[in-house]
Structure 1
Amino acid sequence: MTPPPAEETVKKRSQDDYVFGKVIGEGSFSTVYLAKDIHTNKEFAIKVLEKRHIIKENKMEYVMREKKVLQILGNSTYFVRLYCTFQDGERLYFVLTYAKNGDFLTFLNKTSSLMLDCVRHYAAEIVLALETLNTKGIVHRDLKPENILLDENWHILITDFGSAKILIPVEGEKNESDEEGSQKRRNSFVGTAQYVSPEILTDGKVSFASDLWAFGCILYQMVVGLPPFRAGSEYLIFQKILKLEYEFPTDIDTTIQDLIKNLLILTPEKRLGANESKIYTSIRQHPFFRDTNWNNLGPAPKILPSEASALGQSQAAIPENLQPGLDEKKESMLHAEIFGSPMATPTRKKSQTKNIADLSEEEIRRRLETQKTDRWHNLVEGNLILKQGLVDKRKGLFPRRRMFLLTLGPHLYYVDPTTMILKGEIPWSPDIKTEAKNFKTFLVHTPNRTYYLEDPDGYALEWCKAIEELKVHYFPESKT
């Protein structure tokens, strides 16, 4: 008898069954909290998705796809598990495995590059995970270090299946046809620039080999410390991918070089492991895995306590005085990282208390004269720049880094800093609103669209304050 999906093991749950602690992750339309089950004291990661954002940005397909894939995977080894889902009037909730040791990207960034034995172990775990996906007919399509988590024992847990494709039809459900998939690929890329496979860029048919390409990119990053395809913009990264333009440092082991080269092949069918009757046999038999016991990989490489601390191993505890549930007040407090041991909040010199736009005509004239030597001046139609900074603008699946320029007028321009081309402008009206999700992520709501933005330096609150002050200056009747 086939066991029920993992989420059916718990019935009629609600937010009141959990105490919500610190924010441990952010997405375009979701927030992930560390939470504790009040009945068992077990810790979970609860992904909270705002219904209004999902509907407004037409993301319901991504949410349902992720739920479906997690149900198919059930309790499979090397994957985050979906324990249950529930909802209230404003939000959807996914109760997931809590990965105490964070994500693999942080692990790689802190260690620069890994010893070969460590690379071999994690590479083998990824291979076994890919075999599971293949067996169950799932292509991840956004496999990258950021989507690989580490559990309390330092084993991998693959997550984030919103971009996945199910190739084997689920009984009773309509599967996406190749024609439908091709049309979607013509309209948007799926994946992340540094790890996206060439066939996705050229409208080719998605297959399990797409994840093999991403695996090759991750292997390269494990031994070199950076992804193989790097450039100043996504367009230039895509060009390097399509030309297979990458190289190895001189000190990289030749055996793993060979494995990577045989994965990073432009033609999907020619990649190592593609189109094999026995899944990924050639990868298992590659000389790099000569000493690997595929039936028992054993424990993950030893992480010393000092190294674990340096890697940011989570010691977060949920305060005992918190009550179950997640109302707006508590959500705001958790986003402000009041509880636990927050990272240092970026601070700047205390600004003047007056409105950012309260300038005399003489001051505006003087500052405009100085601004004429600024490289951004010709892109803002002669308006005085009040605030500027690099911000990641999310649309679809790729964040795009833009120079944001807040000016008198009012205007909020955004420019491609690589090509120096004005890409657009967020429209102003008395109804414009800002919403800080945390110190990095903030939203700008306009009547027709919500802009998802992230300041990599952590000054989201400053952006919100500046935009709101400019709104009050030009639309004083909108002040609340």
Structure 2
Amino acid sequence: MPSASKVCRQTGSPVALKVIDKPAYEAFSPDASMRSGHGPGEAEILEMIAGLDVEGVPKILDVFEDADATYIVSELGGLDLYEWLQRSADRDEATVLEVITRLLLILEGLHNWGIAHNDVKLENILLDDSGQVHLIDFGSAVICRCPYHVALRREALEDEEERTSSSDGLEEERCCDAAFPEFCEEDLQASATVMYQLFTGSPISTAERSGMVTEKKEVLRRVSKGELLSADEVRELFKQQAS
């Protein structure tokens, strides 16, 4: 699924262009399409997210297709964090704290609507010159189809007249899909890995990566509350949890 940055001829502003190759019809799994945004479904997922106005997800500007691929044109949200790390040897903890805090807020917004990103990593997080963080690439996104989240999204996407005529409120009070919280948990685990990489500038070991339990979630909670941690503190916390 190659992506590239282009310049819009009408506005002169940079945009992102993602090309999604269409799978052979017989290779496309209807069951998979119900759970994730692979293939042509990613464009629909991004348009839905735009309708829900989730903060931190670049807006879709256009979607078009031909016989071979679907093309998604979206706002360009800055430099991805992998490249940012390569260029920013003197990054400070306050900037890293702000990036992680904003990432967690984006994920919280998505999870509340029943959407798990399912591919959180440095390359899929953008940071622009003003400090804004954007989460991109929803090709692996998981959409919760439980009655609660379906009704919640439908109510938000319908206009006022449709809501008045067709919706008397949510029939379910909470998510009843036992699997969906696991995808949300995986997003948080991946965020912890991103946090480690940003604070330390180093890749995370397999042992540390697999040790994501209550303690690591506590580190994320501390960071999200505005607590400044040094690279050495983060590295030591992860080592303690992997041991």
Q: Same fold (TM over 0.5)?
A: yes
CA change 1:113–1:160 in 2 (3 A) is farther
On the 8 A contact 1:65/1:164 being kept in 2, the answer is no
Q: What is the aligned partner in structure 2 of residue 46 from structure 1? A: 17
CA radius of gyration, larger in = 1
Residues 122-178 of structure 1, C-alpha deviations (whole Å, 9 max, x = no match)? 1221122122112222111210111012335342211011112122543599xxx96
1:113 deviation in Å?
6.4
User: Deviations 1:255-296 (Å, cap 9, x if unpaired)?
Assistant: xxxxxxxxx3169xx9349xxxxxx9876436339xxxxxxx
Gaps of 5+ in 1: 1-29, 182-203, 230-236, 245-263, 274-279, 290-480
Rate the CA distance shift 1:288–1:150 in 2: closer, same or farther, 3 A: closer
Q: Which has the higher strand share?
A: 1
Matched ranges for 1:22-421 at <5 A: 30-51=1-22, 54-55=23-24, 58=27, 61=33, 62-74=38-50, 75-99=53-77, 101-112=78-89, 114-167=91-144, 169=146, 170=150, 206-229=182-205, 237=206, 241-242=209-210, 244=211, 264-265=212-213, 271-272=217-218, 284-285=224-225, 287-288=227-228
User: Taking structure 1 as reference, are residues 272 and 136 closer, same or farther at Cα in structure 2, changes over 3 Å only?
Assistant: farther
- Distance change >3 Å, CA 39–CA 284, structure 1 → 2: closer
Q: Is the 8 A contact 1:77 1:129 kept in 2?
A: yes
CA contact (8 A) 2:97 2:223 kept: no
Q: Is the 8 A contact 1:218 1:227 kept in 2?
A: no
**Aligned-pair Cα RMSD in Å:** 3.5
Whether the aligned pair in 2 keeps the contact of 1:136 and 1:168 (CA below 8 Å) is no
Q: How many residues align?
A: 195
Would you say the 8 A contact 2:58–2:134 is kept in 1? yes
Q: Give the distance between the partners of 2:90 and 2:199, measured in 1 at CA.
A: 5
Instruction: Return 148-157 or 120-129, whichever deviates more.
Output: 148-157
Query: Which structure: greater helix fraction?
Result: 2
Deviation per CA, 1:397-441: give whole Å up to 9, x if none.
xxxxxxxxxxxxxxxxxxxxxxxxxxxxxxxxxxxxxxxxxxxxx
Aligned partners of 1:218 and 1:113: how far apart in 2?
A: 17
Contact 2:125 2:136 in 1 (8 A): yes
Larger RCO (CA under 8 A, 6+ residues apart)? 2
Number of the residue aligned with 2:239: none
1:159 & 1:217 partners in 2: Cα distance? 17
SS in 2 for 1:142: coil
- Residue 169 of structure 2 corresponds to which residue in structure 1? none
Distance 2:18 2:96 in 1: 30
- Residue type at the aligned position of 2:120: L
Seq. identity, % = 24
Taking a change above 3 Å as real, the CA distance of residues 240 and 50 of structure 1, as seen in their structure-2 partners, is: same
Cα deviation 1:99-122 (Å, max 9, x = unaligned): 3x4211111123246311111221
Structure 2: which 5+ runs fail to align? 155-175, 230-243
Do 2:96 and 2:199's aligned partners in 1 also have CA atoms closer than 8 Å?
A: yes
Q: Would the alpha carbon gap of residues 116 and 41 (structure 1) be closer, same or farther in structure 2, given more than 3 Å must change?
A: closer
CA drift at 1:78: 1.5
Aligned to 2:237: none
Q: Is the 8 A contact 1:209 1:271 kept in 2?
A: no
SS at match of 2:194: helix
